[in-house]
Amino acid sequence: SACSSVSGTVTIANCDGLNTSDDDSDVILAKNAVLGAVLSDIIFDGSVDSVSVTFRHSGEAGIGGTVGITFYDGLNLAAFCSEDTSISNASSFTTSEVVSCTPVGGWDYAKLDNLQLRVQNKDTGSPDDAYLSYLMVAVEYTPTVSGGDGGTGGCGVGCCGGGTCDAETGEDYWTCRTDCSGPAVMVITLLSPMPEQEFGGGDTVLIQATVDADSQNQVAVKDFMIEGKFGLIELFDDGKHNDEMAGDRVYGNSFMVEDENTTIFQPLTLSATLGERTVVVQEGYQVVPVLALNIGSNKNTYSLGDLIQLNGLIKRQGVPLEQEIHLVLSGGGTILLEEFLTSDSQGAFSISYPTTTVDPEGEWTVFAEAMDEAGNYGFFEKTIRVFESQAFVELQIELLTGIDTFFERGETKKLLVRLLDQYGELVENARVEWVSPLGETFVFTAEKGQYALSYLFPHDLEAGVQLFQIRAQKETEYSTQQGLEEIELQISETPLIITVLEPVDFSVQVGEAIDFTIQVSYSSGALVEQASFSGSINGKPVFFSALEKGVYVASYAVQPEDQGRPSFSLIVTDEFQNQGIVELDFAVSGVSPLHFVRENAWLLAIVVGISAIMFLGGYHANFFRRKKDVLVKRKQVLESKIAENQKQYYKLNIITRATYTKLHSQYSLELERIAKELEKAEEEKK
């Protein structure tokens, strides 16, 4: 019944569907059952002091127990107040109970608007139910008192009752309904369906919506309606129309999508009324009348005589359908099989076709379609291939990486190819080989549907035009797939890299030995193991021999005719006719004292004899001084060579351990010899 707004105490009976009655008719409250009433229609023009509930129980003998009364905040899902009261074992209707509630902070319009009354039978002492005979809800409030307004008859502008809804002073529909007949701001939010949701014909669409008004969210409204192709329906907040729960201000309902044969966006119009304000919004949903139809085959390639097995599924919006499906298998321009199948409760269906030798070979088409009672349509199409038994299929080899015409021996090239069948589709899991003119075979590695290989052009590959091959092959149960691609490349020799490790001093004297140590390698860094040498200084040969892998040594004694700036030239040729050239210039000046001594021993003896007679003392001292100077100079050169040898091995890392050890030993032995000669010269001087 309607709830009136009067000054003083407001008594509400049967408000918002709470099933109360007078003394002549009882209300049965089953155990653990909760009854709720929402006080959303009440307008109190003033301040609310308290809300009370008065109820009367039945007087049946032997019935007793407890009733729980809860003043519940339906929006925030919490209790304002809660109290249990006993039902006495009386035999008349004269006993009544009163429960009152004033929440923390007092009552206001928002709290009253969210208020639910919940009555629960908590009788545990008997299997019988307790009976409630009368329920009354009373609201005590103090009405607003109007003051003087200068003759306007109200309280004036800016106060509740002044006749103007003044938002600047905080007035809105919730704080002053006397001035504000409806909310200034009212927003409808459609929670379901969402605009991007898709539905097919026959699908049920669940509707959920809320309304925000002025300063309050999710408020109670009247005449919440939605209109679409289905017609005009009302939205409810009773927990029975796909809304969350009764009184939570989420309104709901549902409708069924009508038959559609095209994809379309269907509009929805929502309207809601609160006070004297009605707001209208436009929303919508997608209708996609499509059935999901999919068919798989036991293979994609068949040989005549094989059994083709087809298995399918059909669904609508992800839900399996029991549906009739029209299926056609065709090949060579002829329908080979046409059937009407019915899927099971899981949406599954299957069919098989035994091929024969008289069937056409080539591409066959599997086509299926279906339409349900709501007009939703779906189709599926795929291609399978049927060959003669063990047919040969040519593969097309495509070189994806650009390849130059000219290559040097020792150069590395990355090759990338892909394979295509006669239909232009990628072929995977094949064996692809690179065959060199030397007869070597290298296998490509599969990489994401392609095939890759890094190939080093060998140093022993003959120079000139050479023919390379790319071979591909794949064996299937029904066919052999092969391909061949030939490539002509111009191969040139690779220059050898000659690194001079010794000597480091290119200024020498006649009679000194020039010790050569060289390292020969390819541009890839690989050392040359076998090589021939053609070296000379001033036309005189210099002979090299192998010290270790890639390292070669030689020695040359400087002659008197080499004085000036003689040139050293060296040509190194490996076993594959790859060559390297190096040239060095030396500066030859003066004669080594040791060489002079060796070459003129007889003359020195005469000179020494004469000098001994004429200038024995002075010449003897001068001779040993010069000899010492020569030895000291050679010692310094050797010490410099030892330091350079250590630098090349430890810091530059350009010579091997064996080369370093050999040179270090050679220089150290000569230093020991010089040290002994210096010691001997000192003794002879004495």
pLDDT digits (tens, 9 = 90+) for 125-143: 554 455 554 455 566 655 4
Backbone angles phi, psi at 620, to 5 degrees: -60, -45
Flag whether pLDDT at 516 surpasses 80: yes
Identify whether 127 is preceded by a cis peptide bond (ω within 30 of 0): no
Distance CA 139, CA 50 (A): 6
How confident is residue 1, by pLDDT bands cut at 50, 70 and 90? very low
Give me the phi and psi of 606, to 5 degrees please: -65, -45
The top-scoring range by mean pLDDT among 31-40, 175-184, 372-381, 649-658 is: 372-381
Structure tokens at 609: 């004899």
Beta bridge partners of 187: 212
Q: Write the pLDDT tens digit of every residue in 568-604.
A: 899 999 888 888 898 888 888 877 665 555 555 555 5
Tell me the torsion sign for CA atoms 150, 151, 152, 154: positive
pLDDT above 60 for 3? no
pLDDT at 638 over 70: yes
- Average pLDDT of the residues of the chain: 77
Q: 418 pLDDT exceeds 50?
A: yes
Query: Has domain 292-389 been given CATH number 1.25.40.10?
Result: no
Which pLDDT band, with edges at 50, 70 and 90, does 21 fall under? Answer: very low
Q: What is the pLDDT of residue 270?
A: 94
The hierarchical CATH code for the domain 9-143 is: 2.60.120
pLDDT of residue 60: 44
2 Cβ neighbours under 8 A, 6+ residues apart: 41
Q: What is the pLDDT of residue 55?
A: 62
Task: Over range 506-524, report the average pLDDT.
Answer: 87
Q: Based on C-alpha coordinates, what's the Rg of the chain?
A: 55
pLDDT at 619 over 80: no
- Using the predicted structure, report yes or no on whether residue 562 has a pLDDT greater than 80: yes
Exposed e or buried b per residue across 107-136, where buried means at least 16 C-beta atoms within 10 angstroms of its C-beta: bebebbbbbbbbbbbbbeeeeebbbbbbbe
User: Residue written as tokens 């890759």?
Assistant: 452
pLDDT at 577: 84
Out of 31-40, 615-624, 674-683, which region has the weakest mean confidence (pLDDT)?
A: 31-40
The angle that helices 657-685 and 601-646 make with each other, rounded to 10 degrees, is 140
Sheet (strand 579-585) strand order: 540-542, 531-537, 567-574, 579-585
pLDDT at position 366:
95
Average pLDDT, integer, range 388-408: 77
Burial of 556 (0-12, 13-18, 19+ CB in 10 A): buried
618 φ, ψ to 5°? Answer: -70, -45
Q: Which CATH number, 2.60.40.10, 3.40.50.720, 3.30.300.30, 1.10.10.10, labels domain 186-287? A: 2.60.40.10
One-letter amino acid of 15: C
Q: Are 176 and 167 in contact (CB under 8 A)?
A: no
Please give the angle made by the CA atoms of 303, 425 and 488, to the nearest 5 degrees. Answer: 110
Q: CATH 3.40.50.10800: does it fit domain 392-492? A: no
Q: Do the beta carbons of residue 355 and residue 306 sit within 8 Å? A: yes
Closest-CA residue to 115 (of 81, 88, 141): 81
The model's pLDDT over 67-82, given as tens digits with 9 standing for 90+, comes to 677 777 776 778 888 8
Structure tokens at 536: 């000379």
Task: For residue 629, give both structure tokens.
Answer: 């100077």
Helix (H) / strand (E) containing 31: none
- The residues, ordered by sequence, that sit 6+ positions from 612 with a Cβ below 8 Å of its Cβ are 619, 620
Matching residue, tokens 């794949």: 474
Residue type for position 51:
V
Residue bearing tokens 């009386």: 90
pLDDT at 253: 94
Between 130 and 22, the higher pLDDT residue: 130
The three-class DSSP label of residue 607 is helix
Are 146 and 45 in contact by the 8 Å Cβ rule? The answer is no
The CATH architecture assigned to 600-686 reads: Orthogonal Bundle (1.10)
pTM for this entry: 0.36
Report pLDDT for 433: 95
Position 124 scores a pLDDT of 56
Q: Dihedral of the CA atoms 190, 220, 116, 15 (nearest 10)?
A: -130
Q: Where in the chain is the domain with CATH 2.60.40.1930?
A: 292-389, 392-492
Tell me the per-residue pLDDT of 140-157, one tens digit each, with 9 for 90 and over.
Answer: 655 443 333 333 344 544
Neighbouring-strand partners of residue 206: 254
Residues of the chain with CATH 2.60.40.10: 186-287, 495-589
CA distances from 1 to 20, 41, 42, 74 (A): 11, 10, 12, 21
Confidence of residue 675 (pLDDT cuts 50, 70, 90): confident
Asked: is 495-589 a CATH 2.60.40.10 domain? The reply is: yes
- AA letter at 101: C
Output the pLDDT for position 589. 81
What are the tokens at 179? 């001035």
> Is the peptide bond between 503 and the residue preceding it cis, with omega within 30 degrees of 0?
yes
Q: What is the pLDDT of residues 312-331, one digit of tens each?
A: 999 887 889 999 999 999 99
pLDDT of the residue at 12: 42
Residue 166: the pLDDT is 78
- Please give the single-letter amino acid code of residue 457: F
DSSP E strands in 88-143: the ranges are 96-101, 115-121, 131-143
Output the pLDDT for position 14: 32
- How far is 581 from 197, CA to CA, in rounded Å? 79
Q: How confident is the model at residue 622 (pLDDT cuts 50, 70, 90)?
A: low
Longest dimension (CA), the chain: 169
- HEC assignment per residue over 431-497: EEEEECCCCCEEECEEECCEEEEEEECCCCCCCEEEEEEEEEEEECCCEEEEEEEEEEEEEECCCCE
Beta bridge partners, 274, equal 277
In this prediction, residue 424 carries a pLDDT of 85
Q: In this predicted structure, what is the pLDDT of residue 471?
A: 92
The mean per-residue pLDDT over the stretch 433-440 comes to 90
Domain with CATH 1.10.287 in the chain: 600-686
Average pLDDT over residues 223-230: 90
